[in-house]
Structure 1
Amino acid sequence: MYELKTKETDNSVIEFIENVDSPKKREDAFRLLDIFTETTGYQAKMWGPSIIGFGSYHYKYQSGHEGDAPLVGFSPRKAKISLYFAPDESKREELLKNFGKHSTGKACVYINKVADIDVDVLKELIKQSITFLRQIYPNN
């Protein structure tokens, strides 16, 4: 049976951020920690070895695959900072037009640094992602 790699852990978020190699990325990670905590109202938790997640939801696909995931999150990776939002959320593309310098993947938005983006738009992306996931998975 398929085992999810990205599970909530008891590892310290602060310790993880303090071990980020780049001082600038570390500073941005602490800034994002504040923004996500304030915007979501959730305490940050580590998901797997490198994702800082906020809140959680349980999903179950028609295929039978199911699991738990953070509502939103981020990870200060070596190349870029990954921001995790709900995939396929329709309002995301509209918000990203005014977000600033970024690139996107299915569920991720990648940034180089917080200074490149509009923090107010980030807060809207966070709120919208949580609203969207709560509508799809209302029993969480």
Structure 2
Amino acid sequence: MWGDSIIGYGRYDYRYDSGRGGSFLATGFSPRKSSLSVYIMPGYADFGSILARLGKHKAGKSCLTINTLSDIDIDVLAELISAGLKDLNTRWPVSPG
């Protein structure tokens, strides 16, 4: 658990050029009352072609909002999560914990 409502998978340790750093979840989700939030770090900026095939969603920098799972293609979501983890691992190593 990351905070009170985010279920996270994997983690990564980051350090910016400024010296600021920490640890955060590699990917995860949070069930909300009206939607489901899916998190991919460090964000979705490079995944426009995958997002275009996903289905009905809203995307922020690193948060994807889905009203219901029936609105999206689950296989495309799996592809998106895999691509996000692969991209993240090239920046900061991802560990299972």
> TM > 0.5 between the two?
yes
Tell me the equivalent position of 1:128: 83
Question: RCO (CA 8 Å, sep 6+): is it higher in 1 or 2?
Answer: 2
Residue 99 (structure 1) aligned to one of 54, 69, 89? 54
Greater strand share, 1 or 2? 2
Which structure has greater helix proportion? Answer: 1
2:74 is matched with which residue?
119
The 8 Å contact of residues 10 and 94 in structure 2, kept in 1 or not, is answered as: no
Read off the aligned partner of 2:26 and give its amino acid letter.
L
The Cα shift of 1:65 comes to 1.6
Q: Does 1:47 align with 2:2?
A: yes
Q: Deviation digits for residues 7-45 of structure 1, max 9, x if unmatched?
A: xxxxxxxxxxxxxxxxxxxxxxxxxxxxxxxxxxxxxxx
Letter of the 2:17 partner, please give it: Q
Which 5+ residue runs of structure 1 have no aligned equivalent?
1-45
Query: Alpha carbon RMSD of aligned pairs, Å?
Result: 1.5
TM superposition score normalised by structure 2: 0.89
Identity %: 45
- Greater Rg, structure 1 or structure 2? 1
TM (norm. structure 1) is 0.63
* Structure 2: runs of 5 or more not aligned: none
Q: Detail structure 1 runs of 4+ shifted over 6 Å in the superposition.
A: none
d(CA) in 1 for partners of 2:4, 2:31: 12
Cα distance, 1:69–1:100 mapped onto 2, change above 3 Å: same
